[in-house]
């Protein structure tokens, strides 16, 4: 059971866990635990079992997560913690191989967009350049005047998945997080393909952490809401998903191989800005807050930029 994060201290980004506003470096805590037990080659063992990178940690499967939990317990018992105020919290997954998004997946959103319930999931992609963390601003570049919000419940793949059955789906899920699928509606609607409106730099705020799946045994009973400057704009429950997590794992894994760290965004509820009357879009200074039950809160401020932002190169 943990809330997994990436944290930045200076120029270095590392995998961690957050407990009561205290950050634990999972790799360093595990090294310390092995040394305390007198294990030879502690650094090498820790690099293999609890690496300092969240995607590599997920690639280690259940064994790595079990050992990471032991590292957390050791760190708390021995005071090996960092005050949250002294670090920057980044997105829990950086540079995933895939970000797969599902469109038209809440019944009320489908209706407000004046569409019919789909027979199959509508899927599209975002890329790693879009990912920012819970302490970053959402860039508002001059190329768009119709920047819109989309609150999304997301799940992250925990092990390689190919041709998975629905009954086995959760075995392949590592945990859950929140994503804001920020969308430039004017760019999205220039062509029948949505990609250009979905892939602006910084248009996928993610966080505040990855909650491991054992903390959320039923992902289909979670309240989800979004507000802008304190005004509620979206509210629903994941029970209203047309295609739920089990279905999506099966559906997607029959199309493509899913890898550890892949992020699947499950769609947004009704209430998006483009569907309101009158339409309303994000402006400089707006504060967008998304809350998903049992995960937490993702809050970002919108900030106008003079050109496309530069996305920092950091660990995967």
pLDDT digits (tens, 9 = 90+) for 96-144: 999 999 998 998 788 777 788 889 999 999 999 999 999 999 999 999 9
What average pLDDT does the segment 43-52 reach?
97
* Ordered DSSP codes for the chain: --EEEEEEETTEEEEEEEETTEEEEHHHHHHHHHHHTT-TTHHHHHHHHS-SSHHHHHHTHHHHHHHHHHHHHHHHHHT--EEGGGSEEE-SS-S-S-EEEEES-BHHHHHHTT-PPPSS-EEEEE-GGGEE-TTSPEEE-TT-S-EE--EEEEEEE-S-BSS--GGGGGGGEEEEEEEE--EEHHHHTTSSS-HHHH--TT-EEEEEEEEEGGG-S-TTS-EEEEEETTEEEEEEEGGGBSS-HHHHHHHHHHHS-B-TT-EEE----S--GGGSSS-----TT-EEEEEETTTEEEEEEEEE-SSPPPPPP---
Q: Is the pLDDT of residue 260 over 90?
A: yes
* 164 shares its domain with 25: no
Q: Give residue 113's pLDDT.
A: 77
Q: Residue 11: give its domain's CATH number.
A: 2.30.30.230
Question: In percent, how much of the chain has pLDDT > 90?
Answer: 92
The pLDDT mean for the chain works out to 95
* 141 shares its domain with 280: yes
Q: Is the pLDDT of residue 233 over 70?
A: yes
55-71 pLDDT, tens digit per residue, is 999 999 999 999 999 99
Q: Give residue 117's pLDDT.
A: 84
Instruction: Choose the final residue of a domain: 34, 62, 89.
Output: 89
Q: Residue 99: give its domain's CATH number.
A: 3.90.850.10
Instruction: Choose the final residue of a domain: 71, 89, 107.
Output: 89
Q: Which domain holds residue 15?
A: 3-89
Q: Is the pLDDT of residue 313 over 70?
A: no
Q: Is the pLDDT of residue 314 over 70?
A: no
């Amino acid at each position: 059971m943990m809330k997994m994060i990436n944290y930045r201290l200076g120029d270095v980004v590392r995998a961690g866990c957050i407990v009561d506003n205290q950050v634990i470096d999972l790799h360093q805590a595990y090294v310390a635990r092995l040394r305390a037990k007198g294990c030879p080659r502690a650094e090498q063992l820790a690099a293999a079992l609890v690496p300092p990178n969240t995607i590599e940690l997920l690639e280690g499967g259940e064994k790595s997560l079990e050992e990471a939990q032991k590292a957390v317990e050791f760190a708390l018992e021995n005071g090996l913690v960092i005050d949250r105020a002294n670090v920057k919290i980044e997105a829990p997954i950086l540079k995933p191989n895939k970000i797969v998004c599902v469109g038209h997946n809440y019944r009320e959103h489908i209706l407000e967009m004046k569409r019919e319930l789909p027979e199959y999931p509508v899927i599209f992609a975002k890329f790693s350049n879009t990912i920012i963390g819970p302490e970053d601003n959402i860039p508002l570049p001059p190329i768009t005047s119709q920047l819109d919000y989309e609150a999304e419940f997301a799940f992250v793949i925990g092990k390689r998945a190919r041709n998975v059955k629905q009954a086995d789906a959760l075995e392949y899920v590592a945990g859950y997080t929140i994503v804001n699928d920020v969308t430039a509606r004017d760019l999205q609607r220039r062509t029948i393909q949505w990609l250009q409106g979905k892939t602006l730099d910084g248009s996928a705020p993610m966080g505040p952490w990855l909650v491991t799946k054992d903390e959320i045994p039923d992902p289909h009973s979670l309240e989800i809401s979004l507000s802008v400057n304190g005004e509620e704009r979206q509210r629903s429950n994941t029970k209203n998903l047309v295609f739920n997590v089990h279905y999506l794992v099966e559906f997607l894994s029959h199309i493509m191989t899913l890898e550890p760290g892949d992020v699947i965004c499950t769609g947004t509820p009704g209430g998006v800005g483009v569907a309101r009357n009158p339409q309303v879009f994000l402006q400089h200074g707006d504060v967008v807050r998304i809350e998903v039950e049992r995960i937490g809160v993702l809050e970002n401020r919108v900030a106008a930029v003079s050109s496309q932002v530069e996305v920092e190169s950091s660990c995967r």
